[in-house]
Structure 1
């Protein structure tokens, strides 16, 4: 199995179609089909399921895909390191940013990297943290910003900051009144007052959802999630229209959300912002340089005295 065959196989899985993959790698479809058949003969197992809708990897194909992505990434890093040894920082750096982190740091990161390291090409993936975690576990990212502080076999987190969470929106009139469970003010709401109120939250794979679930369970409270919404605009729209409240950091709110009710949850419910590295990939010079820029940007935001505070 050579490098070319690896690139062909990755294209087939990524595109989900032999026709589209052939266009991406600029070879004839029959030749690409033959390369796939040769790979399956070499390993002795089917690597993809074929159907009228295209192709999708078998379990064996998924395993091969993960290894091949690692190999190709290491080949790319090796080539970049060799070319730039003793020269300026350059190469491609793939970064995953959850939507809220992208809004807070994305443009500052792009601007600073462009000014400081013009030979570095950024690839930014913005999505909910669950999808970013998948990309990181598949070694498709050099690093990511995630809302977690616990390490795993695949990911090494580096806590950068923490921020408090707010109740966004006004609880429906049918929900138990917060005053019965604690003393609320115009700016705060007791955690116990959230027991049973209708909430819209990101799905269970997201870092914020894990923080909320863990906190409610520890307090013996009923977490009443009426909709799982992996979309920041939908979460805010639901709160804005009074359909249900949500729980988010203040940094999630845009300039147009100044009138949306928000109250700090007390005692404070916080989430940790971490720079997360895949353990299986070596860290390139370019990735380390971009990570330094991100650390600098987060440090500047903490120094401004807003909602961000030093981690731990």
Structure 2
């Protein structure tokens, strides 16, 4: 049973479409259909229910995918890595990432490619933007704060962040002698990353077992600017440690709340399956090694 046909089966299974699988594999749709039909004839049972909107896996296909996916993916990676060792590394690599995260880890990532002819194009955006870029093939890799659950994506944890409760020194002084809790903090102005107060609510829930009911005085959808504002104006905020620690070290911001034990992971994410080029296979390994070896928490 040829590896190519099993690889094609997994692409169709993950993408729920022979057309999208054909695009990913750089094949024609009839070629993909013929490979699936050949597998079905060999097994003696149908793998997919065809419809105008795509395909639906049968229970037999679910069972087959569970049995072979890990082995087929591993073999595909091994073959790609062997090609990497014998092929010049060049071309353009597209990486999607939150802008704030790239401002911290970008130099490590770029440094991993200095010995190659690979060029890097970074694309900045939030979760929906990053997932869309992976789905439509615009990105080879993405750094995300959560691993997409869809089976067509592969992922590996490469770091994490802890949230810190930070304030301008004037806010620390204003709260001196008072218990710093959810109630006290809502009596002084604060700046937030979004109107939903996602980071602040997460911190309040773990640190104070409470929530923040007050609206932020300022909302800025860029954590770097959130920190800059809190450092210049008498306000408090919640931000990840990888961006905040330089402000703490310089004394421009001070920690005023308990340290959290929970770590929010972030992941290196890629579309499973084809195309496995020497460039993308090298990039996955290089980015992972660069982030993990430099202690990206």
Using the size of structure 2 for normalisation, the TM-score is 0.57
Shift of 1:123: 1.6
Which residue number in structure 2 is paired with residue 91 of structure 1?
A: 91
User: For each residue in 1:43-97, what CA deviation from the matched residue of structure 2 results, as whole angstroms up to 9, or x when unmatched?
Assistant: xxxxxxxxxxxxxxxxxxxxxxxx9998766549xxxx8xx78523343321012
Paired with 2:254 and 2:240, the residues of 1 have a C-alpha distance of 10
Q: CA contact under 8 A between 2:192 and 2:219: conserved in structure 1? A: yes
Aligned residue pair count: 220
Q: CA contact under 8 A between 2:146 and 2:266: conserved in structure 1? A: yes
Which residue number in structure 2 is paired with residue 221 of structure 1?
A: 211
1:160 aligns to 2:151 (yes or no): no
With 96-105 and 149-158 compared, the bigger mean Cα shift is at 149-158
Shift of 1:275: 0.9
Which residue number in structure 1 is paired with residue 143 of structure 2?
A: 145
Q: CA contact under 8 A between 2:25 and 2:275: conserved in structure 1? A: yes
Which residue number in structure 2 is paired with residue 111 of structure 1?
A: 111
1:101 aligns to 2:93 (yes or no): no
Q: CA contact under 8 A between 1:169 and 1:244: conserved in structure 2? A: yes
Which ranges of structure 2 fall in alignment gaps of 5 or more residues?
1-17, 28-79
CA RMSD of aligned residues (A): 4.2
Q: 1:187-198 counterparts in 2 under 5 A?
A: 194=185, 198=189
Paired with 1:131 and 1:243, the residues of 2 have a C-alpha distance of 34
User: For each residue in 1:258-305, what CA deviation from the matched residue of structure 2 results, as whole angstroms up to 9, or x when unmatched?
Assistant: 232131642335321211224586443322211211121222222xxx
User: For each residue in 1:150-188, what CA deviation from the matched residue of structure 2 results, as whole angstroms up to 9, or x when unmatched?
Assistant: 634665442122222222323876999475445xxxxxx
> In 2 relative to 1, CA 143–170 (structure 1 residues): closer, same or farther, beyond 3 Å?
same
Paired with 1:171 and 1:281, the residues of 2 have a C-alpha distance of 53
Which residue number in structure 1 is paired with residue 13 of structure 2?
A: none
Which residue number in structure 2 is paired with residue 58 of structure 1?
A: none
Shift of 1:256: 7.4
Match of 1:113, SS?
A: coil
Query: Which structure has more RCO (C-alpha within 8 Å, separation ≥ 6)?
Result: 2
Using the size of structure 1 for normalisation, the TM-score is 0.54
